[in-house]
Amino acid sequence: MSNAEIILIAGMTAITFAIRYTLFAVGHRVRFSPLLSRALSYVPVAVLTAIVAPAMFMPDGEHWQLSFDNAYLFGGLAAIGIAAKWRNLLATIAGGMLVFVLWRWLFS
């Protein structure tokens, strides 16, 4: 490992751990207002959707890809359909991957 790599990993480790630990560290002295607690209940849905939407509509990270050969879009739509109908995580992953792979194979 080069020195630059050691600095990079040490920096990323410190930053990530600080973010995850700060509130846990002072936890017993923190109290959340009811508004903040309600706000926090929207966090997982908002964050994960904000990661998923661009991954489906712009898989290269830069350009809209609203076309029929976009397997990320159609695999994602299939996963949404499966998740809405059966609410089963494993089925969603397996079904979504299957549609994604087939779509890629058929259309690109």
Partner 1 sequence: MSSRFKQALLGARDTIPMLVGAAPFGIIFGTLAVSSGLSVAATLAMSIFVFAGSAQFIAASLIASGTGLAVILVTTFVVNLRHMLYSASLLPYVKHLPQRWRIPLAFWLTDETYAIVQNHYLRLQVPLKHKHWYFLGSCLAMYGNWVACTLIGVLLGSSLPGMAGWGLDFAMVATFIGIVVPSLRSRPMVVAALVAAAVALLAHTLPYKLGLILAALAGVVAGLVAEQLKGADRTGEVADEQR
Residue ranges in 37-96 that form contacts with partner 1 under rule CB under 8 A: 38-58, 61-62, 71-72, 75-76, 79-80, 83-84, 87-90, 92-94, 96
Best CA proximity match to 65, nearest among 78, 54, 77: 54
Residues 2-21 that bind partner 1 (CB under 8 A): 2, 4-13, 15-17, 19-21
Residue closer to partner 1 by CB (options 2, 67) is 2
Choice from 23, 68, 69, 107 touching partner 1 (CB under 8 A): 23
Dihedral of alpha carbons 64, 66, 72, 77, sign: positive
Task: Compute how many other C-beta atoms are within 10 angstroms of the C-beta atom of residue 93.
Answer: 13
Structure tokens given for 54 = 């661009």
102 is an interface residue for partner 1 by CB under 8 A: no
